[in-house]
Each structure stands twice: as C-alpha cells, then as structure tokens.
Amino acid sequence: MQAYSAQCRSAARRIVTEFGRTKSSCSNRRFYGASSLESVHRRGNTITIETLQTRTLDENWILPTFIHLPPNPKPNPLLLISGWTGVSADWGSLPKMISSRSNRPVITYDPRHLGFSKRIGDNKEEELKLTLDLMTDDAIQVAQQGLLHIQKKHELESPNSITLAGASMGGMIAQNFAQQVQLNDQRIQNVVSMILIATTPGVKQLQSPRLRSFFKCFQGWPQDKTKSASQFFLALGESYNGCVVNRSKHVMKQRFIEKFILSRDMHEQVAQNPFLKGVTVQYQALREPFDSTTYLKHLGIPSLVIHGADDSVISKEAAELLHQHLSHSKLVIIPDCDHLCWLTYPLFLVDSMCNFLACRTPNL
C-alpha cells in the first residue's frame, strides 16, 4: 500500500512533547469533540492561557477562544486562524512559543462545528449555509472579544488593532478579514500586519491535480457515515502525501496509517460526532469561488508569505502570486517542505514569524 502522510496527528503530539507542554489529547479534542468546556487558566513557562466563550454575531454558536499571554504583553495581539477542519489544538505549542518569543498575546479558537464549539441557536438553515464570509465574520468576532478581554482584565492600553496569521483555508479567511476591516468593519480598527501560511489567493487555475482529485472524493458522499469517515481519511492521507526526508517521518506515516486511515473503529467513532458535519460544511465553504487578487494590492499592510517548496495541496505558485499582488510583502519558501509546514517545520516557522513581528517597519 502506498505510504500516506503522518504529519496530521503524530507530528502534533511530537511537537507538544518536545516543547514542554504535557502530552495533550489533541486528536481526542479534534475527533471526539465535547458538549461543553470548563474554564481553563494555566500557568507555565511564564505564559498564561486564558479561555473565553465567544458568542458568534448570529447568536448560533459559542466558540472557545484561547488567549496566550506573556507577563508584560505588547499591543497588537496575533490571531491564528486554522485551516480546513482545523481547531486550536492543531497548532500544538506554536502559540505558546510565538507568545513567549514575540512578547505579545496570541489568540486561537475552535470554529463552529469543530473542536469544543457549541451550538446554541436553533437556525437549522445555518448548517447548510456556511460560507467563507461567515467564517471571516466569526474570526473578526473572536478578535474583537479577545482584544476587549485583554484590554479590560489586564488594563492594557492598546489600540483596537490586530495582527493576522492564517494557514491554508485560514489564510483565505485572513485575507477576507483584512479586506473587511479596510471596508470599515467597526469591530476592529486596524490590521497591523498579516502572515499567510501555505495558502492561496484562490485563483482556480492554481489548483493542483492532487487537490482536484481530493475534492472529487467528496462529491456524492454515501449516506453511510462510517464509509464517509473512511473516505475522508483516505483522501486526507493521499492529498497530504509529502516528501519523506528521514526515517522518523516514515515511522510517523506508518502510525498514522494504522491508527487513523485503516482503523474502522476510529472511523465509526468519528462518524458518531460533529466532526464529520464540520468536514462537510467547511468543504462547502471551501468550494466557493474565491479570488483575492482583486483587492490584495489595495490592503497596503506588511505581509509575510510562507510556503513549502513541495506543497502538493496548494502549489508554491500560489505563494508567488500572493507575493506579487501584496504591495508590502516578503516571500519565504521552505525547502523540502509539504503543505503542513506548521507541523513538519515548526521551529523554522516560529523563527520566521517572530522575526517578522519584531520589525516595526519590516524590511520587505
């Protein structure tokens, strides 16, 4: 059988273990979900993690929001926006490392339908109408509530401004976010800068054959939820099949195959929880027409574009096009790196992001 990518789950656990955080149930949190979430307030390595329950603007969902706070934070927090099917836990220890290195608050959250998000509204039609604009609106709401919490509880006098970082689909949301603020969304005053990771301006011609094949797997999903879950994992493994540069990554791939892709028990467990619904509705949003090249050059904010040279999901040509259309941008291509660069090259990513954030006027 062809070796599938292991980065999705195993690398997340490895990163968490390497950087001192107790081994968390990232996979459980992502796959099994929860009906509620208790308040979390932890201290360790000088970073405080506080949890908010952000209510979406349409009053349909509660989105758990995690704020990583250094002792004396700088203004302009960083909002990390996950990619397709991603939740806060998928970032592993990156928020903690970035907060410690950059000395600024880092905000993450679980999107609607995934992770610990909780449905509170009774609008059934909303389930069928998840769009990139709605996901962008949720991100803006999270940013606003996070800023208000930091300013009020910690008496931090800072402008109502934020820095964005989005990965994959989250990068598309970040671009939308910046445009909405520029169009005078009153909740956020200013986007200071933007970091786009393994993402795209959405031009259809940039879709790789592997990505088109991946999307085809989701057309006409069977009514059997377990079959749907199995199909999802097989498609996920195939689409994220990146380069294997050492034996440890090959071992991780084998474990991923055994525990997730080939495990019918796992597929049955996933089929019985909201994760599969989250996969479906976010897929629908991801399939929307999207082209940010029409407005990127008008944003005028410092931007960092990071991409893996061997990304088979979103080609590096997408990063080059982003760099071309952003008026103040820096392009970083990571050699021997696949789509999930935040899992396979976390330290390089943290270094690049923190160096960018450290520059008041980045040398672009």
Q: Which two tokens stand for residue 42?
A: 């932890």
Q: Is the dihedral of CA 130, 133, 134, 135 positive or negative?
A: positive
Query: Nearest-5° angle of CA 11, CA 14, CA 15?
Result: 90
For residue 74, the model assigns a pLDDT of 83
Over residues 57-66, the mean pLDDT reads 94
Q: Which two tokens stand for residue 276?
A: 């599969």
Q: What is the residue extent of each domain of the chain?
A: 23-210+289-357
User: Do 109 and 63 form a contact (C-beta atoms < 8 A)?
Assistant: yes
Superfamily of domain 23-210+289-357: Alpha/Beta hydrolase fold, catalytic domain (3.40.50.1820)
The pLDDT tens digits of the residues spanning 296-307 come to 989 999 999 999
- The continuous run of DSSP H or E covering 273 comes out as none
Assessment of whether the complete model's pTM goes beyond 0.75: yes
For residue 151, the model assigns a pLDDT of 86
User: Could you tell me the CA-to-CA distances from 319 to 7, 87, 269 in Å, in that order?
Assistant: 21, 23, 37
d(CA 194, CA 301): 7
**DSSP bridge partners of 44:** 47
The pLDDT tens digits of the residues spanning 77-131 come to 999 999 988 899 989 999 999 999 999 999 999 999 888 999 987 766 555 578 9
